[in-house]
Amino acid sequence: MGLENKHIAVYVTGGIAVYKAAEVVRGFIRQGAVVRVAMTQDATKFVTPLTFGALTKQPVLTDLFAGDNDQFVPHIALADWSDLAVIVPATANVIAKMATGLADDAVSTTLLATTGLKVVVPAMNEHMWDAPATTRNIATLTADGVVVMQPDTGLLAEGYSGRGRLPEPSAIVDFVQHVWAKQTGRLRGRNVMVTAGGTRERIDPVRYISNDSSGKMGYALARAAANEGANVTLISSIISLSAPDSVHVITVSGAQEMLDTMKTYFAQQDAVIMAAAVADFKPVSVAEQKIKKTADNDLMTLQLTKNPDILKTLSVDKTDQIMVGFAAETEHLLTNAQHKLIDKKLDMLIANDVSRKDIGFNADQNQVTVIRPNVEPVQLPQMTKTKLSEQLIEMIADLLPGK
Ligand code: CTP
């Protein structure tokens, strides 16, 4: 889902951060949104409408009375067209106008006529942001259902550091996407726990046993669930990938720690997606100091003991949670996967052939078969892990009982 095909009206008001709004617009377009821009006269002094027109390939609204508007009532046309409105950068002036319902130019008039979701991204001098009037206006907007993104702290245009900076464009795009998902996504109000990566079973302070799992599938699933508005808890054994800000990431090492952490959150979950590649065995004991090689011993034996089966253990306490597992197989894919589905009491098992180098572990693409109890297996075509995650999240959302 996300912002794909959504109509976003971006309102650009006059401040030094206007140049960053161009990057925000590009970010929305990259997400598949259709963007139209309206600018205040002051904003056009920082960046011309031509920039936004070229980026969006849409006319830019700057003047309600300009004869070249292709719409008879341009402000109403833009207000009605938009699924959501983003005011970026939002000056203290436009915030004050929105709070009081003032409509004296193209931007403020169109915003007053907008009934859908509005997201305000303020940028101004710290003293203007802290002024009692701005605080009052922000409180009014929030009470009116407008979502306000908090400004960053950092170097301001005035040359000193303070609160009031426009956040980075990518953070703004993520924030808007998150707000939109929370209001409209299929998983809004749902709790989803996802695991990712190969567990690391410690041998000593500097060594561990692990496997080839990169965590990409788990991170893609966490992102896809967040894009549908879920409250996502991601239990990860790797630190090299990044998750959206809204995802609660908990880093763990071994299978036992993963299980203990999952147990803490399990009862509140609507769905658990176990994409982690859990090591089946761990060293019997973890050496406190780095193990040294000795001159008289060319052979080294590491004694291993079985790890708990996380899915099986959690299934014992299961109430309504939808339990989803993965089966990484190198042979007899369907037979082995069917067995795991039943053995681990799962609602869905996603089976993939890890003997193929182009898919599965570490690759960006995957090709899976989705297996469910008493339903014919569904073989999905090969696709990116991102696309696949979106499809799997759709299928998991279909299994959740209505709220
Ligand atoms: N799994 C688990 N706990 C384990 C091992 C695996 O919860 N100790 C989960 C995995 O995260 C995955 C599913 O069970 O979702 C199947 O994992 P897989 O490694 O394919 O199967 P195993 O049960 O380990 O069986 P085998 O290694 O014999 O194929």
pLDDT at 41 over 70: yes
Residues in contact with ligand 1 (CB, 6 Å cut-off): 255, 274, 276, 278, 280, 307, 309-311, 325-328, 340, 344
Phi and psi at residue 245, in whole multiples of 5°? -55, -35
Q: Are 100 and 215 found together in one domain?
A: no
Domain range holding 283? 187-399
Which atom of ligand 1 is least distant from the CA of 276? 11
Q: Are residues 318 and 253 in the same domain?
A: yes
What is the Å distance from ligand 1's center to 48 Cα? Answer: 57
Look up the CATH number of the domain holding residue 226.
Answer: 3.40.50.10300
> Do 272 and 378 belong to one domain?
yes
For residue 247, tell me if it sits in a domain. Answer: yes
Rounded to an integer, the average pLDDT of 149-153 is 95
Residue 35 sits in the same domain as residue 110: yes
Pocket test residue of 258, 260, 305, 311 for ligand 1, highest count of atoms within 8 A of CB = 311
* Residue 324 alpha carbon, nearest atom of ligand 1: 15
Whether residues 210 and 264 share a domain: the answer is yes
**pLDDT value of residue 158:** 79
Do both 167 and 289 map to the same domain? no
Interior CA angle at 29 toward 25 and 31, to 5°?
120
- By DSSP bridging, strand 383-384 and strand 365-366 are antiparallel
102 with 241, same domain: the answer is: no
Q: Express each pLDDT in 241-262 by its tens digit.
A: 999 888 999 999 999 999 999 9
Q: Is the pLDDT of residue 346 over 80?
A: yes
Is the residue at 208 inside a domain?
Answer: yes
Among candidate residues 181, 198, 233, the one where a domain is terminated:
181
- Establish whether 211 is a catalytic residue: yes
Assigned domain for 1 exists: no
Residue nearest to atom 4 of ligand 1 (CA): 309
d(CA 325, ligand 1 centre) in Å: 8
Span 346-365, mean pLDDT? 81
| Shortest-distance atom of ligand 1 to CA 277 | 11
For a ligand 1 pocket test, name from 259, 272, 280, 346 the mutation site with the most ligand atoms within 8 angstroms of its C-beta.
280
Q: What is the pLDDT of residues 77-123, one digit of tens each?
A: 999 999 999 999 999 999 999 999 999 999 999 999 999 999 999 99
pLDDT at 155: 83
pLDDT confidence of residue 68: 57
Domain count of the chain?
A: 2
CA angle in degrees (0–180, nearest 5) for 23-63-133: 70
Examine the pLDDT at 75 and tell me if it is beyond 90: no
Of the listed 211, 227, 231, 362, which one is catalytic? Answer: 211
In a shared domain, residues 122 and 223: no
Ligand 1 centroid, distance to 191 Cα (angstroms)? 23
CA of 145 to the centre of ligand 1 (A): 45
In a domain, 2, yes or no: no
As a whole number of Å, the CA-based R_g of the chain is 26
CA–CA dist 201, 224 (Å, integer): 29
Domain boundary among the residues 117, 147, 181 is at 181
Q: Are residues 167 and 206 in the same domain?
A: no
Average pLDDT rounded to a whole number, residues 166-172: 95
Residue of minimum CA distance from atom 16 in ligand 1: 327
Burial of 164 (0-12, 13-18, 19+ CB in 10 A): buried
**What is the C-alpha separation between 193 and 270, in angstroms, rounded?**
8
CATH number at 145 reads: 3.40.50.1950
Residues 211 and 173 in one domain: no
Lowest mean pLDDT among 66-75, 197-206, 290-299, 373-382: 66-75
* Ordered DSSP codes for 317-359: T-SS-EEEEEEEESS-HHHHHHHHHHHTT-SEEEEEETT-SSS
Cα(286) to ligand 1 centroid in Å equals: 23
Please state the rounded mean pLDDT for residues 40-60. 96
Could you tell me the pLDDT band of residue 360, with boundaries at 50, 70 and 90? Answer: low
Which ligand 1 atom lies nearest to the CA of residue 326? 15
Q: Is 324 part of a structural domain of the chain?
A: yes
Residue 259 Cα, ligand 1 centroid: separation in angstroms? 13
| Residue of 260, 274, 282 best suited for mutating to test ligand 1, as the one with most atoms within 8 Å of CB | 274
pLDDT > 80? residue 363: no
- Mean pLDDT comparison of 69-73, 322-326, 331-335, 364-368, highest-scoring range: 322-326
Among the candidates 181, 207, 242, a domain finishes at 181
Which ligand 1 atom is the nearest neighbour of the CA of 325?
15
pLDDT band at 361 (very low <50, low <70, confident <90, very high): low
The whole-number pLDDT of residue 313 equals 96
| 103 and 241, same domain (yes or no) | no
**Angle, CA of 315, 193 and 209, to the nearest 5°:** 80
Do 43 and 98 have their domain in common?
Answer: yes
